[in-house]
Structure 1
Amino acid sequence: MQTLNAEKLKFIIESASNKLFNNKERIDALNVFPVPDGDTGTNMSSTFQKAIQLIEKESFDTVGELIELVSKNMLLSARGNSGVILSQIFKGFSNAWSSLNNINIEDFINGFSMAAKTAYDSVLKPVEGTILTVIRETAEELAKIKVDKNSTFNNVISIAVQKAQNSLQNTPNLLPVLKEVGVVDSGGEGLLMILEGMKSAIEGTKVEIDLNSTKPLVIASNTEVYSGEFGYCTEVIIKLNEPDKFVKNKFVSQVEKLGNSMVIVNDGNLLKLHIHTITPGKILNIGQKVGEFLTVKIENMTEQANNTKSNLEGIKSYEATKVQPTKKNAIISCNAGSGFINIMNELECDHVIEGGQSNNPSAQDIIEAIDIVNAENIIILPNNSNIILAAQQAAKIKSDRNIKIIPTKSQVEGITAIMNYSPEIDIEDNINEIESSLKNLIVGEVVQAIKNTKIDNVKVKEGSYLMIMSHKIIGTKKDSLSASTALIDKMIKSNKKAQILIIYYGNNVSEIDAKKIEKYVLSKYDIEVQIQNGDQHIYDYMFGLE
């Protein structure tokens, strides 16, 4: 195989995406932080799958036409930092191949060089020991190959996979937190899966999606569309009320008769279910009897199937649409939990994008919000470190607007930001005012650990409660209340001039629980305390001290 045409490259790209999909939950499990996070594997797979959906039923005359569409849709669908970096890797492939009808081995190797360069250029402060290192070292290894008449794509991709494996295994030596926790970089692992999927296709066997995989916590992506199947793709994650008494076979017998394509996995106190059904309400009723919903996703497969073609045309014509701004300033915020969303709306946020921890909005979601607010100057509050790159990506795409990203990493920071925002004043003055207010804020969070690990020199036991101050784990306690009071003591000690503490309680606790914390603080400190219902899904409590 000395050249690749569009159909062969499409075959390779689909195989790569499917290999990533089949391993996404295992990649998620490599997450360093011992709480449900942005889920690297899920974000990368979602980013890739969106692009694949729009090419799977299409034919292409040239490699350039194919890779440009894949790259463009990846840019729009990118979720989380890992998804954004993956989209930039494919942007590099597109930069190298967009003008080509077919690609030869030298073009293929050059594509990896461009992929590494574009990925590095997209990150303000590249960190070694991550997916960036793996793509760079792989590209550097391929660049050493002296291409001659005996060179084959099989040899080149084999070298790429081997180098990526070696680079991945070395990531803990470059990034101390990986060595401390004892894992390799999850983004790098995702890239390795992509390369292995490419290798399989180049050798003649396309990797197919495996919905019956027995890997831990595997569920189907919410982006799937099945030809010939209609109804609703229903996915739920349930926190079991009594995991020791839960009988999986009994639950399966109740659910399986209501649909098909079912995948169900019970892992500790979590139950994950994916099913195609025409009665999602019945599924939810059965699920609610055994526990509390952590996430619920219901997608209309009929509507998705009907819209796939029109979505493709919409992507192709996206940049042709230009709407003149109707107002001077606007602010957009990413929030999760009905309480936080209500607070942001009450503070007159121009648009709230629903999504955050473990449910990162895509660049496309942010672009749509930019279009909705339709302002000349726009401030975006990501409110999660895993959304910042997607927001930056959206800002690049919407270059006709003056968009400023304030890199807020928590919803508490987002609320402080909007409280110091005024639509009437100049955008730069707003930025200065918000950044100044954030310097005086200390954020605290209490959340239950989902695994045993050691991070930031703190030994973490699964089921214990983490005390997180300014995005760093400072200790653990056996219960949520003691973790909260100990954390607040640390927060107030670090800022003895603080005047107000705001308690945002999540849906795992109640206002009564929050009032116990309030009583403790008022008995010990001369400080004002406010209680707000954040209704967040993961963190029991979030605190803002200023």
Structure 2
Amino acid sequence: MEVLKVNELKLAIQSASNKLFNNKERIDALNIFPVPDGDTGTNMSSTFQKATDMISNESFKTTKELIETFSRNMLLSARGNSGVILSQIFKGFSNAWKSTKELTPKNIVDGFEEAYKTAYDSVLKPVEGTILTVIREVAEELLKLKITKNTTIDKVFDVAVKTSKKSLANTPNILPVLKEVGVVDSGGEGLVMILEGIKSFIDGKFVEVDMDSTKPFALVNDIEVYSGEFGYCTELIIKINDVKKFVKNKFVSQMEKLGNSMVVVNDEDILKIHIHAIKPGKVLELGQKIGEFLTVKVENMTEQANNTKSNVEGIKNYEMNKIQPSKKNAIISCNSGSGFIDMMKELECDYIIEGGQSNNPSAQDIIEAIDAVNAKNIIILPNNSNVILAAQQASKIRSDKNIHIIPTKSQVEGITAIMNYSSELELKDNLQEIEQSLKNLIVAEIAQSVKDTKINNVKVKKNHYLMVLQHKIIGSKKDLISASKTLVEKMIKSKKRCEMLVIYCGNNVSEKEAQEIEKYVLNKYDIEVQIQIGNQNIYDFMFGLE
């Protein structure tokens, strides 16, 4: 292949999206922390797939038009640090191909060079041994190629894929924590999948969605009960095999039995379906009978359904009521768990974005919040290290606003931040108060390990309870209460002066267990203890010490 035409590039991107989707769960599993919050594959796939959906039904005359549209939508849909970095890689391709009608081998090499530079520039402190290293080493190897009239697109991507795999395999030798845990970098793995998906298309083997290779429906079974709009938001684009035999009304009557909020749009041989279904597998089975999938998107709306249905409805009403005339200051917070969300409401947070650990909001979600609060000065609390980059991306897109991101890494930090915020203070005074309060805060969490591993020289056994102090694992114990008591002691001893310990209870623990920890602390130390119901997932207890 001597050139890659615009329609071929479009199909190559779709092939890459499918390859990434097929491998997202495996990438999620490449998680350093042994808790079920690995979401790199999900974030990268969601970011890439949403941008792919936006170009799937559009026609483009030039590569420039296509890649600009794709890159722009990737910026908006970026989730998590990996999704944001991936969006910057494709922004680099877009920058390099501004005057390109169709791609030549030289264009592609130039694109990789600009992609790695843009990605590095987007990160304040680039870390080697990550996706950044992989894209850089691919670009550097491609720049060594002597491009002649005989050089083909196939050759360029052969080198790109081969180099990316070699670079990925070496990430544990660059980043010690990867070697300690025994995994390669998950973001780098995602990039390799994208390059392999493109190469497969160039080799004449378009990658289809493989429902057997991923398990987006594994949580669904006959005894699970959902209600209302909970379930799975399922969106399909299908290329109909036999347009003459396809009867839309008959298909719609069959499909509407499987869920609600259904929309079916038919344009010649293309069928687009949106439906909220309890069992999306049945939706896929029915869709596959009439044609081949061009795109598949399934998002779980059932997470925390038993605990947060009324809260989710409340958030929607709450946010709608919070769209106000222009004001001086506003604060936006990312939260999950009905207890934490209720606390944020009571503390008069201007806008709550539901999401965080294992469910990262996109840059677009944050932009919508920025627009809704309609304030001169806006403070954003990401409350998760994997949301900070998306917040920064959103602030760049809304550069007309005076936005300040406080890099809170946990919901406990978010609570402390908003308790030291006042809508009446000047922005600089608010920032001073919040930053000082966070300096005086010690944060810790207890979570159950999902695998045997070793991290930070701490040996961890599956199902034991991790003790996480200031975002670092410091030990583990078999018993929840024993681990909690030990962790609290280490918190108190790490601080010269402390007055209050706040215990936030997760979904899987009882207030009685929290009271046992409270009693232990009160008998041993002269500090105040409060118990709050956070209803957070993953972390059984979260602690804040001031």
Pick the TM interval, shorter chain: 0.7 to 0.9
What secondary structure sits across from 2:183 in the alignment? coil
Which residue is 1:125 aligned to?
A: 125
Distance 2:279 2:426 in 1: 58
Structure 1 position 225 matched with structure 2 position 236: yes
What does 1:454-465 align with in structure 2 at a 5 Å threshold?
A: 454-465=454-465
Structure 1 position 361 matched with structure 2 position 358: no
How far apart are residue 215 of structure 1 and its match?
7.2
How far apart are residue 424 of structure 1 and its match?
1.3
Q: Which amino acid aligns with 2:374?
A: N
Distance 2:106 2:170 in 1: 27
What does 1:10-409 align with in structure 2 at a 5 Å threshold?
A: 10-213=10-213, 224-227=235-238, 230-231=255-256, 259-261=282-284, 326-409=326-409
Which residue is 1:270 aligned to?
A: none
Q: Deviations over 1:181-228 (max 9, x none)?
A: 011100000000000001001112210111122679979995743447
How far apart are residue 37 of structure 1 and its match?
2.1
Q: Deviations over 1:273-297 (max 9, x none)?
A: x999xxx99xx8xx99xxx97999x
> Is 2:324–2:373's contact at 8 Å kept on the other side of the alignment?
no
Q: Which amino acid aligns with 1:341?
A: I
Q: Deviations over 1:464-483 (max 9, x none)?
A: 10000000001111121111
> Is 2:217–2:280's contact at 8 Å kept on the other side of the alignment?
no
* Structure 2: stretches of 5+ with no match in the other structure: 221-231, 239-250, 261-277, 287-295, 310-322
Change (3 A) 1:216 1:460: farther
How far apart are residue 324 of structure 1 and its match?
11
Distance 2:280 2:493 in 1: 58
How far apart are residue 38 of structure 1 and its match?
4.9
Change (3 A) 1:422 1:463: same
Length, aligned pairs only:
481
Q: Which amino acid aligns with 2:31?
A: N
Alignment root-mean-square deviation, CA? 2.8
Change (3 A) 1:262 1:127: farther
How far apart are residue 159 of structure 1 and its match?
0.3
How far apart are residue 98 of structure 1 and its match?
2.7
Distance 1:368 1:448 in 2: 35
Change (3 A) 1:219 1:82: farther
Which residue is 1:544 aligned to?
A: 544
Change (3 A) 1:215 1:170: farther
Which residue is 2:271 aligned to?
A: none
Distance 1:218 1:6 in 2: 37
Distance 1:202 1:427 in 2: 53
How far apart are residue 397 of structure 1 and its match?
0.3
Q: Deviations over 1:354-385 (max 9, x none)?
A: 00100000000000000110111100000000
Which residue is 1:450 aligned to?
A: 450
Instruction: Name the TM-score, length of structure 1 as normaliser.
Output: 0.83
Which residue is 1:5 aligned to?
A: 5
> Is the deviation greater in 56-65 or in 175-184?
56-65
Distance 1:26 1:420 in 2: 41
Distance 1:470 1:256 in 2: 40
> Is 1:47–1:74's contact at 8 Å kept on the other side of the alignment?
yes
Change (3 A) 1:490 1:407: same
> Is the deviation greater in 441-450 or in 208-217?
208-217
Q: Deviations over 1:32-87 (max 9, x none)?
A: 11112251000000000101111112221111111011100100000000000000
Q: Deviations over 1:137-172 (max 9, x none)?
A: 000000111111110011110000010011001101
Distance 1:224 1:164 in 2: 32
Q: Which amino acid aligns with 1:365?
A: D
> Is 1:49–1:223's contact at 8 Å kept on the other side of the alignment?
no
Change (3 A) 1:233 1:54: farther
How far apart are residue 529 of structure 1 and its match?
0.3
Change (3 A) 1:195 1:233: farther
Which residue is 2:494 aligned to?
A: 494
Which residue is 1:247 aligned to?
A: none
Distance 1:518 1:135 in 2: 49
Instruction: Name the TM-score, length of structure 2 as normaliser.
Output: 0.83
How far apart are residue 538 of structure 1 and its match?
1.3
Which residue is 1:239 aligned to?
A: none
> Is 2:328–2:377's contact at 8 Å kept on the other side of the alignment?
yes
Which residue is 2:436 aligned to?
A: 436
* Structure 1: stretches of 5+ with no match in the other structure: 235-254, 264-273, 297-322
What secondary structure sits across from 1:3 in the alignment? coil
Q: Deviations over 1:286-311 (max 9, x none)?
A: x99xxx97999xxxxxxxxxxxxxxx
Which residue is 1:317 aligned to?
A: none
Q: Deviations over 1:429-453 (max 9, x none)?
A: 2112111110110001001011111
Change (3 A) 1:498 1:520: same
Change (3 A) 1:457 1:66: same
What does 1:469-488 align with in structure 2 at a 5 Å threshold?
A: 469-488=469-488
Q: Which amino acid aligns with 2:284?
A: S
Distance 1:110 1:389 in 2: 26
Q: What percent identity do the matched residue pairs reach?
A: 67
> Is 2:178–2:185's contact at 8 Å kept on the other side of the alignment?
yes
> Is 1:256–1:262's contact at 8 Å kept on the other side of the alignment?
no
